[in-house]
């Protein structure tokens, strides 16, 4: 029973959003998620938010990570200028588990899914106008 509870907790954790700053703190070896941001102009940011590792796509978690960072950068509020959601399987490969050691039947799990939300925000107190931010984002090819 404790093994099943551990597996259930691991599965539930895998679908969560992340508050890990990948630029400042480096890779997140525990959950895999986090965010990276770059300031494009005063009060205009590119944010990349990643959900924690999961067996399935979790767009809500990636969006929550994105929102978390946008609210940190723009405490007075923000406008989302442009964004995109994406999900893809990791190239690291799947894992094999044996749920019950008494019955050695291995179960192949697929590679985990990485879900991301990449986009641009303009803080409400930015000296850059919304139109200027849109032009800046249009000139950038990423996302």
pLDDT digits (tens, 9 = 90+) for 17-72: 667 666 776 666 666 788 899 999 999 999 999 887 777 778 888 899 999 999 99
> Which residues constitute the domain of residue 43?
2-139
Q: How many domains does the chain have?
A: 1
Predicted confidence (pLDDT) per residue in 92-139, tens digit: 767 777 877 788 888 877 777 888 899 999 999 999 999 999 999 998
Strand ranges (DSSP E) for the chain? 34-41, 44-50, 78-89, 95-97, 107-109, 113-123
- Residue 75 pLDDT exceeds 50: yes
Q: How confident is the model at residue 6 (pLDDT cuts 50, 70, 90)?
A: very low
End-to-end CA distance of the chain: 45
Within 10 A of 30 (CB to CB), how many other CB atoms are there? 11
CA distances to 3, 19, 33, 97, 111 from 104, rounded to whole Å, are 15, 38, 32, 10, 21
Q: 108 is written with which tokens?
A: 């192949």
Residues in the chain: 143
Please answer whether residues 117 and 83 qualify as being in contact, where contact means their C-beta atoms are separated by less than 8 angstroms: yes
Place of tokens 């442009």: 82
């Amino acid at each position: 029973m404790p093994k099943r509870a551990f597996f259930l907790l691991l599965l539930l954790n895998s679908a969560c959003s992340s508050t890990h700053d990948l630029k400042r703190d480096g890779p997140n070896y525990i959950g895999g998620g986090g965010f990276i941001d770059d300031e494009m102009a005063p009060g205009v940011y590119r944010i990349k938010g990643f959900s924690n590792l999961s067996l399935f796509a979790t767009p809500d978690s990636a969006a929550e990570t994105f929102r978390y960072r946008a609210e940190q950068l723009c405490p007075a509020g923000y406008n989302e200028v442009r964004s995109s959601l994406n999900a893809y399987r990791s190239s690291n490969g799947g894992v094999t588990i044996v749920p019950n050691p008494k019955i050695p039947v291995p179960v192949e799990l697929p590679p985990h899914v990485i879900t991301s939300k990449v986009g641009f925000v303009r803080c409400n107190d930015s000296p850059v106008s919304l139109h200027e931010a849109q032009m800046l984002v249009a000139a950038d090819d990423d996302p």
